[in-house]
Amino acid sequence: MSEIRFGTAGVADDFEELGYKNAFQVPEYLHSFGLNAFEYQCGRGVRLTEKNGNKLGAIGAEQGIRFSLHAPYYISMSGLDDEKRMNSIRYLLQSAAAVKSLGGNRVIFHSGSCGKQSREAALEKALDTMRHAVEAMDEHGCSDITLCPEVMGKVNQLGTVDEVLALCSVDKRITPCVDFGHLNARTMGGLGCKEDFAAVLDQMQESLGDDRAKNFHVHFSKIQYTQGGEKCHLTFADQEYGPNFEPFIELCAERGLTPTIICESAGTQAIDSRAMRQYYDSLTK
């Protein structure tokens, strides 16, 4: 049975301050905050060995932690250079192997930018890459891995909600990663009220029509933005930029949604993720 989960992207600034010294202590650290999810960061390349992944995964399982993994940032599903575009599949396979070693099954990735082509042309290339990626996953024994294209924060990046849902149409295993901070940034503050969040959830349900609209992946943080979209991540203490998490958490409770919610606040991920968890608990217990 699926359950809602709360966790962090990487470790927060207080990890070492609290006396933790290595990655194998991450599960204990998360558990101390009442969290049960962790997104392992491979943005600059997949360097996690199978041995270390297995060890960390086993420790995490004892603490009830579910792992996901963020694939390298240099993936470009829509690149004009076909060789580089197809290299993205190799990076996804590396990410899949790494998350399997952790005992997890979700790989989150950025689709890339539109570059010097139209959004329509970029999306067509990304769809083609996505189809090849699914085939490669099956061929390499990774059919149990869920690929999660992410809603992106910069206007020129491929990653509107519509574009992410289009990528999810390639295969029922592909599940959206809705980054609400990114979405708020690229829409210049478009997530101002509960109805705005509800519209996104309704759109997912209409487009996907299955459990992916209930068990999707989430990134959440407040993000400063300019006319070009995302500028930098903030903490929940910021009062100028959104989005606020309460409307989304209320909808999760009301609708019985069970996403994995990963906090990407700037250095306060664990504290801010705990705030979301506590608010959810206050609504459901």
pLDDT tens-digit readout, 216-250: 999 999 999 999 999 999 999 999 999 999 999 99
Which of the two residues, 53 and 86, has the higher pLDDT score? 53
Distance between CA 212 and CA 86 in Å, rounded? 26
The 3-state DSSP class for residue 225 equals strand
pLDDT of 81 > 90? The answer is no
Taken in order 224, 253, 174, 24, the sign of the CA dihedral is: positive
Place of tokens 């599940």: 175
Distance between CA 151 and CA 52 in Å, rounded? 30
β 223-226/217-220 pair status: unpaired
Compute the average pLDDT of residues 95-118.
Answer: 96
| Confidence (pTM) | 0.98
Q: What is the pLDDT of residue 82?
A: 86
Q: What is the pLDDT of residue 84?
A: 86
Which of the two residues, 196 and 85, has the higher pLDDT score? 196
Model confidence pLDDT, tens digit, residues 57-69: 999 999 999 999 9
The one-letter amino acid at 285: K
Taken in order 103, 105, 108, 112, the sign of the CA dihedral is: positive
In the predicted model, what is the mean pLDDT of the chain?
Answer: 97
DSSP class of residue 169 equals T
pLDDT of 189 > 80? The answer is yes
Which of the two residues, 204 and 114, has the higher pLDDT score? 204
- Contact predicate 263/269, CB 8 Å: yes
β 229-233/223-226 pair status: antiparallel
Angle at 223 between CA 166 and CA 43, to 5 degrees: 65
Residue 109, both tokens: 């990735």
Question: What's the chain's Rg over C-alpha atoms?
Answer: 18
Band of residue 1 on the pLDDT scale cut at 50, 70, 90: low
DSSP class of residue 149 equals E
Distance between CA 153 and CA 181 in Å, rounded? 7
